Amino acid sequence: MGTQNSVSQEPAIGPFSSLLKHWRSVRRLTQVELAGDANVSARHLCFLETGRAQPSREMVQLLGTALDLPLEERNALHVAAGFVPPYGDSGLAADNLQHVRQALDFILRQQEPYPGIVIDGRWDVRIRNEASRRLFKPFHDAYDMEPEFSDNAMHTVFHPKGLRQFIVNWDEFAGQMIQILHREVAQGGGIAAQLLAEVTTYPGLPAEWRLPRHVAGSSPVMTMRLQKDDFRLAFFSTFTTFAMPTDATLQKLKIECFYPADDETAEKARALAL
Protein backbone atom coordinates (compact mmCIF):
# COMPACT_ATOMS: atom_id res chain seq x y z
CA MET A 1 0.00 0.00 0.00
CA GLY A 2 1.50 3.29 -1.06
CA THR A 3 1.68 6.32 1.13
CA GLN A 4 1.08 9.89 0.01
CA ASN A 5 3.05 12.73 1.50
CA SER A 6 0.94 15.81 2.06
CA VAL A 7 2.86 18.99 1.33
CA SER A 8 1.40 22.22 2.64
CA GLN A 9 1.76 24.93 0.08
CA GLU A 10 2.24 28.38 1.58
CA PRO A 11 1.29 31.29 -0.66
CA ALA A 12 4.25 33.04 -2.21
CA ILE A 13 5.09 36.40 -0.68
CA GLY A 14 4.88 38.94 -3.48
CA PRO A 15 6.33 42.43 -3.92
CA PHE A 16 3.46 44.13 -2.08
CA SER A 17 3.65 41.76 0.89
CA SER A 18 7.39 42.27 1.23
CA LEU A 19 7.14 46.03 0.87
CA LEU A 20 4.33 46.28 3.40
CA LYS A 21 6.29 44.26 5.94
CA HIS A 22 9.39 46.36 5.25
CA TRP A 23 7.64 49.65 5.95
CA ARG A 24 5.90 48.31 9.04
CA SER A 25 9.34 47.30 10.33
CA VAL A 26 10.83 50.71 9.44
CA ARG A 27 8.02 52.42 11.35
CA ARG A 28 8.58 50.00 14.25
CA LEU A 29 4.94 48.95 14.40
CA THR A 30 3.48 45.58 15.28
CA GLN A 31 0.77 44.14 13.06
CA VAL A 32 -1.77 44.95 15.75
CA GLU A 33 -0.59 48.57 15.98
CA LEU A 34 -0.64 49.12 12.22
CA ALA A 35 -4.03 47.41 11.94
CA GLY A 36 -5.38 49.78 14.59
CA ASP A 37 -3.93 52.84 12.82
CA ALA A 38 -5.42 51.72 9.50
CA ASN A 39 -8.73 50.62 11.07
CA VAL A 40 -8.48 47.10 9.63
CA SER A 41 -8.38 43.73 11.35
CA ALA A 42 -5.00 42.37 12.44
CA ARG A 43 -5.96 39.05 10.82
CA HIS A 44 -6.47 40.69 7.42
CA LEU A 45 -3.19 42.60 7.76
CA CYS A 46 -1.43 39.32 8.54
CA PHE A 47 -2.94 37.80 5.39
CA LEU A 48 -1.70 40.77 3.33
CA GLU A 49 1.84 40.37 4.67
CA THR A 50 1.93 36.62 4.01
CA GLY A 51 0.36 36.87 0.56
CA ARG A 52 -2.80 35.01 1.56
CA ALA A 53 -4.87 38.06 0.62
CA GLN A 54 -4.50 40.66 -2.10
CA PRO A 55 -5.16 44.35 -1.36
CA SER A 56 -7.64 46.58 -3.11
CA ARG A 57 -6.53 49.99 -4.33
CA GLU A 58 -8.39 51.54 -1.38
CA MET A 59 -6.54 49.26 1.05
CA VAL A 60 -3.16 50.24 -0.42
CA GLN A 61 -4.08 53.90 -0.04
CA LEU A 62 -5.23 53.32 3.53
CA LEU A 63 -2.04 51.54 4.54
CA GLY A 64 0.16 54.15 2.84
CA THR A 65 -1.57 56.85 4.88
CA ALA A 66 -1.34 54.88 8.12
CA LEU A 67 2.39 54.32 7.53
CA ASP A 68 2.82 58.03 6.72
CA LEU A 69 4.79 57.23 3.57
CA PRO A 70 6.14 59.91 1.24
CA LEU A 71 4.12 60.13 -1.98
CA GLU A 72 6.95 58.52 -3.95
CA GLU A 73 6.86 55.48 -1.66
CA ARG A 74 3.06 55.33 -1.81
CA ASN A 75 3.38 55.16 -5.59
CA ALA A 76 5.81 52.25 -5.19
CA LEU A 77 3.36 50.47 -2.88
CA HIS A 78 0.59 50.81 -5.47
CA VAL A 79 2.84 49.50 -8.25
CA ALA A 80 3.86 46.54 -6.09
CA ALA A 81 0.17 45.72 -5.65
CA GLY A 82 -0.43 45.91 -9.41
CA PHE A 83 -2.08 49.33 -9.56
CA VAL A 84 -1.26 52.49 -11.46
CA PRO A 85 0.52 54.97 -9.14
CA PRO A 86 -1.95 57.68 -8.07
CA TYR A 87 0.50 60.53 -7.53
CA GLY A 88 2.20 62.34 -10.37
CA ASP A 89 5.99 62.29 -10.56
CA SER A 90 6.70 63.72 -14.00
CA GLY A 91 9.23 66.39 -13.02
CA LEU A 92 9.18 70.16 -13.01
CA ALA A 93 9.03 70.31 -16.81
CA ALA A 94 5.47 68.92 -16.81
CA ASP A 95 2.86 71.22 -18.35
CA ASN A 96 0.61 71.06 -15.29
CA LEU A 97 3.42 72.43 -13.09
CA GLN A 98 3.99 75.59 -15.10
CA HIS A 99 2.32 77.77 -12.43
CA VAL A 100 4.53 76.13 -9.81
CA ARG A 101 7.68 76.97 -11.78
CA GLN A 102 6.48 80.57 -12.02
CA ALA A 103 6.01 80.66 -8.23
CA LEU A 104 9.51 79.25 -7.69
CA ASP A 105 11.02 81.86 -10.02
CA PHE A 106 9.15 84.59 -8.16
CA ILE A 107 10.43 83.43 -4.76
CA LEU A 108 14.02 83.29 -6.01
CA ARG A 109 13.77 86.77 -7.54
CA GLN A 110 12.49 88.18 -4.27
CA GLN A 111 15.48 86.64 -2.51
CA GLU A 112 17.90 88.94 -4.39
CA PRO A 113 20.56 90.14 -3.69
CA TYR A 114 20.98 87.02 -1.54
CA PRO A 115 21.28 83.46 -2.89
CA GLY A 116 18.33 81.17 -3.36
CA ILE A 117 18.15 77.68 -4.87
CA VAL A 118 15.59 74.94 -5.49
CA ILE A 119 16.72 71.42 -4.55
CA ASP A 120 15.05 68.14 -5.53
CA GLY A 121 14.75 64.95 -3.48
CA ARG A 122 18.28 63.91 -4.33
CA TRP A 123 19.63 67.32 -3.31
CA ASP A 124 20.44 68.26 -6.90
CA VAL A 125 20.15 72.00 -7.51
CA ARG A 126 17.40 72.42 -10.10
CA ILE A 127 16.99 76.21 -10.14
CA ARG A 128 19.17 79.00 -8.79
CA ASN A 129 18.84 82.76 -8.76
CA GLU A 130 21.45 85.15 -10.11
CA ALA A 131 22.74 85.96 -6.62
CA SER A 132 23.57 82.29 -6.15
CA ARG A 133 25.57 82.31 -9.36
CA ARG A 134 27.40 85.55 -8.48
CA LEU A 135 28.31 84.81 -4.88
CA PHE A 136 29.14 81.11 -5.14
CA LYS A 137 30.90 81.28 -8.53
CA PRO A 138 34.47 81.69 -7.13
CA PHE A 139 34.01 78.49 -5.11
CA HIS A 140 32.13 76.54 -7.80
CA ASP A 141 34.77 77.34 -10.43
CA ALA A 142 37.43 75.78 -8.19
CA TYR A 143 35.68 72.41 -7.81
CA ASP A 144 37.67 69.40 -8.98
CA MET A 145 35.07 66.67 -8.74
CA GLU A 146 32.91 64.50 -10.97
CA PRO A 147 30.66 66.73 -13.14
CA GLU A 148 27.53 64.77 -12.22
CA PHE A 149 28.08 65.65 -8.55
CA SER A 150 29.11 69.30 -8.92
CA ASP A 151 25.52 70.57 -8.62
CA ASN A 152 24.53 68.25 -5.80
CA ALA A 153 24.35 70.11 -2.50
CA MET A 154 25.30 67.10 -0.36
CA HIS A 155 28.13 65.84 -2.56
CA THR A 156 29.73 69.28 -2.78
CA VAL A 157 29.68 69.63 1.01
CA PHE A 158 31.33 66.25 1.60
CA HIS A 159 33.59 65.83 -1.45
CA PRO A 160 37.20 66.79 -0.50
CA LYS A 161 37.56 68.82 -3.72
CA GLY A 162 34.11 70.39 -3.72
CA LEU A 163 32.74 73.16 -1.52
CA ARG A 164 34.12 71.32 1.49
CA GLN A 165 37.63 72.73 0.94
CA PHE A 166 36.29 76.26 1.41
CA ILE A 167 33.96 75.70 4.41
CA VAL A 168 35.91 77.12 7.36
CA ASN A 169 33.64 75.43 9.93
CA TRP A 170 33.25 72.21 7.93
CA ASP A 171 33.21 69.78 10.89
CA GLU A 172 30.36 71.63 12.53
CA PHE A 173 28.40 72.39 9.36
CA ALA A 174 28.78 68.97 7.68
CA GLY A 175 27.93 67.27 10.96
CA GLN A 176 24.56 69.02 10.90
CA MET A 177 24.01 68.30 7.21
CA ILE A 178 24.52 64.57 7.54
CA GLN A 179 21.98 64.46 10.34
CA ILE A 180 19.44 65.99 7.94
CA LEU A 181 20.09 63.00 5.65
CA HIS A 182 19.66 60.58 8.55
CA ARG A 183 16.29 62.16 9.34
CA GLU A 184 15.18 61.85 5.71
CA VAL A 185 16.17 58.18 5.71
CA ALA A 186 14.15 57.61 8.89
CA GLN A 187 11.13 59.27 7.30
CA GLY A 188 11.20 56.74 4.47
CA GLY A 189 13.42 58.25 1.84
CA GLY A 190 14.95 55.58 -0.38
CA ILE A 191 16.77 58.29 -2.33
CA ALA A 192 18.12 59.72 0.92
CA ALA A 193 19.44 56.29 1.93
CA GLN A 194 21.32 55.97 -1.36
CA LEU A 195 22.72 59.49 -1.04
CA LEU A 196 23.80 58.84 2.55
CA ALA A 197 25.63 55.71 1.44
CA GLU A 198 27.40 57.70 -1.28
CA VAL A 199 28.60 60.63 0.82
CA THR A 200 29.80 58.45 3.69
CA THR A 201 32.39 56.91 1.35
CA TYR A 202 34.32 60.19 1.24
CA PRO A 203 37.49 60.32 3.38
CA GLY A 204 37.79 62.18 6.65
CA LEU A 205 34.27 61.64 7.97
CA PRO A 206 34.05 60.76 11.69
CA ALA A 207 32.79 57.22 12.32
CA GLU A 208 29.90 58.49 14.46
CA TRP A 209 28.44 60.33 11.47
CA ARG A 210 27.33 56.97 10.07
CA LEU A 211 24.65 56.83 12.77
CA PRO A 212 21.81 59.25 13.57
CA ARG A 213 22.42 61.34 16.66
CA HIS A 214 21.36 64.59 18.25
CA VAL A 215 23.75 67.45 17.54
CA ALA A 216 23.72 70.31 20.02
CA GLY A 217 24.38 73.64 18.35
CA SER A 218 26.23 76.53 19.96
CA SER A 219 24.12 79.13 18.11
CA PRO A 220 20.42 79.46 17.27
CA VAL A 221 21.07 78.84 13.54
CA MET A 222 23.67 76.82 11.63
CA THR A 223 26.04 79.14 9.76
CA MET A 224 28.13 78.16 6.75
CA ARG A 225 31.38 80.14 6.68
CA LEU A 226 33.19 80.16 3.34
CA GLN A 227 36.62 81.49 2.43
CA LYS A 228 38.68 81.42 -0.76
CA ASP A 229 41.77 83.59 -0.55
CA ASP A 230 40.48 86.97 0.69
CA PHE A 231 36.88 86.32 -0.39
CA ARG A 232 34.78 85.47 2.67
CA LEU A 233 31.06 84.82 3.09
CA ALA A 234 28.88 83.70 6.00
CA PHE A 235 25.29 82.54 5.49
CA PHE A 236 22.54 80.78 7.38
CA SER A 237 19.61 79.39 5.43
CA THR A 238 15.96 78.41 5.58
CA PHE A 239 14.14 75.55 3.83
CA THR A 240 10.64 76.01 2.42
CA THR A 241 8.49 73.15 1.16
CA PHE A 242 5.07 72.95 -0.50
CA ALA A 243 2.04 72.63 1.73
CA MET A 244 -0.14 69.57 1.08
CA PRO A 245 1.34 68.55 -2.29
CA THR A 246 -0.43 65.82 -4.27
CA ASP A 247 2.49 65.36 -6.65
CA ALA A 248 5.57 63.33 -5.69
CA THR A 249 7.88 65.73 -7.51
CA LEU A 250 6.64 68.70 -5.50
CA GLN A 251 6.78 66.88 -2.19
CA LYS A 252 10.51 66.32 -2.67
CA LEU A 253 11.35 69.92 -3.58
CA LYS A 254 12.98 72.30 -1.10
CA ILE A 255 13.58 76.01 -1.57
CA GLU A 256 16.74 77.06 0.26
CA CYS A 257 17.15 80.77 0.88
CA PHE A 258 20.48 82.08 2.19
CA TYR A 259 20.75 85.09 4.50
CA PRO A 260 23.87 87.02 5.58
CA ALA A 261 25.23 86.01 8.98
CA ASP A 262 27.32 89.18 9.25
CA ASP A 263 27.49 92.73 7.90
CA GLU A 264 30.48 91.98 5.67
CA THR A 265 28.53 89.34 3.74
CA ALA A 266 25.47 91.59 3.42
CA GLU A 267 27.56 94.44 2.03
CA LYS A 268 29.37 92.14 -0.39
CA ALA A 269 26.09 90.70 -1.68
CA ARG A 270 24.68 94.17 -2.31
CA ALA A 271 27.89 95.42 -3.97
CA LEU A 272 28.08 92.47 -6.37
CA ALA A 273 24.45 93.00 -7.39
CA LEU A 274 25.15 96.49 -8.74
Lowest mean pLDDT among 20-24, 141-145, 184-188, 231-235: 184-188
Q: Same domain for 34 and 100? A: no
The whole domain housing 59 covers 15-80
Q: What is the pLDDT of residue 216?
A: 63
Q: Is the pLDDT at 214 greater than 90, yes or no? A: no
Q: Same domain for 130 and 76? A: no
Angle between helices 170-186 and 190-199 (to 10 degrees): 150
Q: Is residue 169 exposed (0-12), middle (13-18) or buried (19+ Cβ within 10 Å)? A: middle
Q: Is the pLDDT at 16 greater than 90, yes or no? A: yes
Q: Is the pLDDT at 90 greater than 60, yes or no? A: yes
Q: Is the pLDDT at 226 greater than 60, yes or no? A: yes
Q: Same domain for 238 and 268? A: yes
SS (H, E, C) 12-74: CCCHHHHHHHHHHHHCCCCHHHHHHHHCCCHHHHHHHHHCCCCCCHHHHHHHHHHCCCCHHHH
CA distances from 2 to 5, 8, 83, 189 (A): 10, 19, 47, 56
> pLDDT grade, residue 215 (50/70/90)?
low
Q: Same domain for 49 and 145? A: no
Domain boundary among 80, 104, 130: 80
Lowest mean pLDDT among 5-14, 35-44, 67-76: 5-14
Q: What is the pLDDT of residue 80?
A: 95
Domain total for the chain?
Answer: 2
Q: Model confidence over 99-116: pLDDT tens digits?
A: 999 999 999 999 999 999
Q: Same domain for 145 and 24? A: no
Q: Same domain for 46 and 174? A: no
> Which CATH number fits the domain that encloses residue 56?
1.10.260.40
In a domain, 88, yes or no: no
In a domain, 7, yes or no: no
- Alpha-carbon distance 193 to 196, whole Å? 5
Averaged pLDDT score across all residues of the chain: 91
> Which CATH number fits the domain that encloses residue 202?
3.30.450.180
Report the SS3 class of residue 260: strand
